[in-house]
Amino acid sequence: QVAESGGGLVQAGGSLRLSCAASEFTEDDYTIGWFRQAPGKEREGVSCINRVDDTTFYIDSVKGRFTISSDNAKNTVYLQLNSLKPEDTAVYYCAAGYEFCREGFLRPSDYDFWGQGTQVTVSS
């Protein structure tokens, strides 16, 4: 089970931090991915992290602006969103799966457990 929180409305250039709380995972052999879906667009993978070694991956459009991190004690993964742009507006989802996070493997089909999503709106 995973559940997101932390979305909201922010002006362009602002920041938000999203949280993804994972439960019922007994080992650290899973991956957490962050996805987003804007109206009329397909769900897009944004970033992911391997819980076993904290290696990460980002798509090009968010590199240098978004940071994914994990707090193992809290079984929580964070996505820090900085320098937000209107085009970042979307529903953001976190998901858990067992495919190792790396380039080319941040696809919705690689993940098994999904949260309900949290809205991020960036005004210009």
What does the block give as tokens for 28? Answer: 């650290």
Confidence (pLDDT) at 73: 83
Q: What is the pLDDT of residue 19?
A: 97
Residue-level pLDDT, tens digit, the chain, 124 residues? 899 999 999 999 999 999 999 988 777 789 999 999 999 999 999 999 999 999 999 999 999 999 999 998 888 999 999 999 999 999 999 999 999 999 988 999 999 999 999 999 999 9
Bridge partners for 78 per DSSP: 19, 69
What's the pLDDT score for residue 28? 77
C-alpha distances in Å from residue 104, one per residue of 48, 54, 61: 11, 18, 15
pLDDT, position 87: 96
